[in-house]
């Protein structure tokens, strides 16, 4: 909690494209548990970088973690209360400080601290840092959102998902950190993974800490701390505000409101205790504002150009059913929960922004085999007990909860809500989709929205799982999926990388970037494809080049 805040007159805004050197973000980072001298052990240190998130027109959330003494390791519950100062300035030299304050780092919050700074200027770049005693943290760079009444010419977001520490290096974060043209980075979930070392993947590039599967509060804290020591992730957080939601691996694989596929009651304790521990560690270690319900669904606005609706698709969902089970259509099953779906519908219909961006951790577009014409599908489904929208291949997605998807799409149509773009991760592949009103009759039926899915930063995709060269089998699989799902305009099943979403009043475009090798810490990034949706069309089309 902030105990003291001072504001100073605002100087002229600095240039938006000023770049902070990566060394400023990572120079103070040391390996977890690094040996120290007796003198250094008593000196507070910032071993996990600095971060900012959830930008508002007048503010931003600042984050860091201080290690006050050697015994105060992440998850230990040890270490003294330590006063931490923060300041935010209009220049990298901090000669024009616009606000400062203090917070107290306590063992009860794993010595993480947040400062929710307000009173800043909209659409403005700032620098920030922390102090503990004589120790100064690395410097971070952040940016506020445009004013609510502003009409920005454009917005640009980095988009990432699914970063498994053991599966590879976080080069995607390094390439996004090097960009000076982003308003923020959107992380769509699976920021950490819960598995034991060697469980997924079987041959780790680098081992997790702790080595066992994480189930307790101390475990989740240490796992978050381990990820925060990655220099590329630290550089990303120090360069751009991050807007994050969680998916299942921040808890356990295929999590739902009452359990998870990767949770064994009894042997791994009660799910309520494990999920509460995961939730607490997440809010301690991430630059995220919790909603009033203590979850991550919330809304951020960027002038009259875009509203960003962020979803929590794990806390309220019903348990997944088996593939081919007609129960996926049951109105008694939900992926969002009633309150969140009503909140989303109200926010969409009440928005005056040109674009509705919806951050969803799992894919909303239907992906099914066995699609047949609508006049045959319904009676066959009734006779055979099959899903009415075809045989879904992933019931952990919205395909497993078709009543919620149908209700949301009907709302978009009945309320005349256009230019809705779903931004998605989870599936470890890149996709560009129309979201059809009726998949079985598309393209004769209309599209209600569009969807851009980004691939994983490192997590296994098709060629990784099959241990074959990229393209060996994916070309056949991609063709089969597109043939059965004509609303899928493009997909890439092999690559790892990131996306950059560029939004203007005329169109929203996703540029997809591919990493050369996830196992190479110096991996290069190259442009792969671009897809866009033009205002008023609700359809995706290929773009010839990335946005400059």
* Shared-domain flag, residues 192 and 264: yes
The predicted structure's pLDDT at residue 465: 83
Domain count of the fold of the chain? 2
Q: Give the pLDDT of residue 468.
A: 78
Which pLDDT does position 510 carry in this prediction? 98
The Cβ of residue 84 has, within 10 Å, a number of other Cβ atoms equal to 25
Give backbone dihedrals phi and psi of 464, rounded to 5 degrees, phi first. -65, -45
Residues 131 and 193 reside in one and the same domain: no
Q: Is it true that the peptide bond before 443 is cis, omega within 30 degrees of 0?
A: yes
Cβ-based neighbour number of residue 123 at 10 Å? 18
Same-domain status, 436 and 476: yes
**Which of 89, 112, 143 corresponds to the end of one domain?**
143
Q: Which residues of the chain have pLDDT under 70?
A: 1-41, 369-391
Rounded to 5°, angle at Cα 364 from 362 and 370: 110
102 sits in which H/E element: strand 97-105
Do the beta carbons of residue 518 and residue 162 sit within 8 Å? no
CB contact at 8 A, 323 and 387: no
| Beta-bridge partners for 449 | 435
Instruction: State the DSSP H helix or E strand holding residue 62, giving kind and residue range, or none if neither.
Output: strand 59-65
DSSP state for residue 483 in the 8-state scheme:
H
**pTM of the entire predicted model:** 0.90
| Residue 390: per-residue pLDDT | 62
Q: Which of 112, 143, 174 delimits the end of a domain?
A: 143
The per-residue pLDDT for 291 is 80
Is the residue at 149 inside a domain? Answer: no
Among 84, 114, 143, the domain boundary falls at 143
Question: What ranges in 157-209 are assigned the alpha helix state H?
Answer: 171-177
Secondary structure (DSSP) of 494-512: S--EEEEEEE-SSEEEEEE
Our CA dihedral for 455, 163, 213, 228, rounded to 10 degrees, sits at -170
Using DSSP bridges, classify how beta strands 125-132 and 82-89 pair: parallel, antiparallel or unpaired.
antiparallel
Domain that holds residue 386: 155-543
Q: pLDDT value at position 50? A: 98
Answer yes or no: do 126 and 187 share one domain.
no
Same domain, 114 and 191: no
């Amino acid at each position: 909690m902030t105990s003291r805040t001072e504001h100073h007159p605002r100087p002229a805004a600095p240039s938006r494209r000023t770049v902070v050197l990566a060394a400023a973000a990572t120079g103070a980072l040391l390996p977890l548990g690094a040996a120290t001298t007796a003198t250094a052990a008593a000196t507070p240190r910032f071993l996990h970088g600095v971060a900012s998130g959830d930008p508002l027109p007048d503010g931003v959330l600042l984050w860091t973690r201080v290690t006050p003494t050697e015994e105060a390791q992440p998850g230990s519950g040890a270490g003294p209360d330590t006063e931490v100062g923060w300041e935010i300035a209009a220049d990298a030299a901090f000669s024009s400080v616009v606000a400062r304050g203090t917070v107290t780092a306590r063992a009860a919050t794993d010595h993480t601290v947040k400062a929710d700074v307000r009173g800043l200027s909209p659409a403005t770049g700032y620098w920030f840092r922390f102090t503990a005693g004589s120790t100064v943290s690395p410097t971070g760079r952040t940016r506020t959102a445009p004013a609510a009444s502003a009409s920005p010419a454009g917005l640009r977001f980095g988009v990432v998902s699914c970063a498994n520490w053991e599966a590879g290096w976080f080069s995607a974060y390094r390439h996004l950190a090097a960009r000076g043209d982003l308003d923020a980075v959107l992380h769509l979930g699976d920021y950490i993974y819960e598995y034991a070392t060697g469980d997924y993947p079987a041959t780790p590039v680098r081992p997790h800490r702790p080595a066992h599967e994480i189930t307790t509060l101390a475990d989740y804290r240490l796992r978050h701390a381990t990820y925060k020591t990655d220099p590329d992730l630290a550089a990303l957080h120090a360069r751009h505000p991050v807007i994050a939601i969680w998916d299942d691996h921040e808890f356990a694989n295929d999590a739902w409101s009452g359990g998870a596929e990767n949770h064994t009651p009894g042997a791994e304790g009660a799910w309520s205790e494990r999920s509460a521990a995961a939730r607490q560690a997440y809010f301690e270690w991430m630059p995220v504002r919790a909603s009033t319900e203590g979850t991550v669904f919330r809304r951020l606005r960027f002038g009259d150009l875009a509203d960003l609706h962020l979803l929590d698709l794990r806390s309220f969902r019903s348990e997944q059913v088996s593939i081919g089970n007609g129960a996926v259509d049951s109105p008694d099953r939900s992926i969002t929960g009633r309150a969140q779906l009503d909140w989303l519908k109200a926010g969409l219909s009440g928005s005056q922004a040109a674009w509705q961006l919806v951050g969803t951790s799992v894919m909303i577009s239907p992906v099914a085999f066995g699609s047949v014409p609508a006049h045959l599908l319904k009676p066959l489904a009734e006779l055979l007990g099959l899903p009415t929208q075809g045989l879904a291949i992933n019931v952990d997605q919205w395909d497993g909860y078709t009543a919620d998807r149908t209700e949301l799409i009907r709302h978009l149509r009945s309320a005349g809500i256009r230019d809705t773009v779903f931004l998605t991760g989870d599936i470890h592949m890149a996709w560009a989709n129309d979201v059809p009103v009726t998949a079985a009759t598309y393209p004769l039926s209309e599209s209600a929205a569009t969807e851009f899915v980004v691939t994983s930063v490192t997590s296994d995709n098709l060629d990784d799982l099959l241990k074959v060269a990229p393209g060996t089998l994916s070309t056949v699989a991609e063709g089969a999926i597109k043939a059965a799902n004509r609303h899928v305009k493009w997909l890439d099943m092999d690559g790892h990388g990131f996306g950059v979403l560029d939004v203007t009043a005329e169109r929203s475009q996703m540029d997809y970037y591919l990493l050369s090798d996830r196992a190479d810490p110096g991996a290069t990034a190259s442009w792969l494809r671009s897809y866009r949706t033009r205002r008023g069309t609700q359809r995706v089309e290929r773009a010839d080049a990335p946005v400059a």
